[in-house]
Amino acid sequence: MIQEFGRRTQDKIATIDLDATVIESWKREAQPTYQGSTGYQPVLALWSELNVVVADEFRDGNVGAHTQLLPVAKQAFSALPESVERMYFRGDSACYEQELLRWLRDRKRTEGPQGFIGFGISAKMSEPLRERLRMLPEGLWKPYREDAEAEWEYAELQNWDPLEKAGEELDHIRYLALRVHRRQGELFADGKLYKSCCAVGGIMLYSI
């Protein structure tokens, strides 16, 4: 069905958006979810440009959103029609998982399309990443946006790839960090001056 859909639309770009969705259920066999209710947590892979589901996996509610996402990603990309020339992937921090990231960064990946796949994934705020952000010189933080209550800044982490292994031929990645602080120097409810988040993305390098 997806092949025929793609043939008719002839879209050249496909962004796979992978996410798990909690569906509440009071059936006897429904399992507890991280939200505190019982239900199920299926994973859906959406072809974002066309708003159509290309892969899915039904799961119990107690299965973590980060569990075994690579098989669903492989299924999603393999479903795309031949008319697609540029492929991308995006996901939340549940997708910040080594096996999936390495597969996306490997242009000679197994069970999937060959070549570059760009991606943007929310990074989990681990202690090493948090410490890396603390070490960034203030001069690297640049204005991003502001509103009535807070100011946002962004910075790029230079030369940091915690998932890289010696001998691997993987596409380069970049980490972009955001931090927000309240106006007038007010602290957040937890007593911190800044709130931070980070995203990791796959980039294509060009020779000049």
Are 132 and 107 members of one domain? no
Are 176 and 89 members of one domain? no
Domain stop point among 71, 98, 119: 119
Are 17 and 112 members of one domain? yes
Phi first, then psi: what are they for 67, rounded to 5°? -80, 125
pLDDT in tens, the chain (208 residues): 877 777 777 789 999 999 998 999 999 999 999 888 999 999 999 999 999 999 999 999 999 888 899 999 999 999 999 889 999 999 999 999 989 999 999 999 988 999 999 999 998 888 888 888 888 899 999 999 888 888 889 999 877 787 777 677 888 888 989 888 877 666 566 656 677 788 888 754 433 2
For residue 208, the model assigns a pLDDT of: 26
pTM, entire model: 0.83
Are 140 and 60 members of one domain? no
Contact 98, 177 (CB under 8 A): no
Tokens at 71, concatenated: 């098989």
Are 130 and 115 members of one domain? no
Are 15 and 59 members of one domain? yes
Which residue segment(s) compose the domain that 90 sits in? 1-119
Are 108 and 132 members of one domain? no
User: Concatenated DSSP letters for the chain?
Assistant: -HHHHHHHH---EEEEEEEE--EE---TTPEE-TTSSEEE--EEEEETTTTEEEEEE--BTTS-TTTT-HHHHHHHHHTS-TT--EEEEEE-GGG--HHHHHHHH-TT-SSS--S-EEEEEEPP--HHHHHHHHHS-GGG-EEEEE-SSEEEEEEEE-S--TT--TT-----EEEEEEEEEEGGGPPPTTS-S-EEEEEEEE------
Contact 60, 31 (CB under 8 A): yes
Contact 150, 179 (CB under 8 A): no
Domain stop point among 119, 144, 168: 119
Contact 20, 4 (CB under 8 A): no
For residue 189, the model assigns a pLDDT of: 64
Are 24 and 112 members of one domain? yes
For residue 191, the model assigns a pLDDT of: 59
Are 41 and 137 members of one domain? no
Domain stop point among 68, 94, 119: 119
Are 135 and 89 members of one domain? no
Are 110 and 140 members of one domain? no
Are 113 and 158 members of one domain? no
Total tally of structural domains belonging to the chain: 2
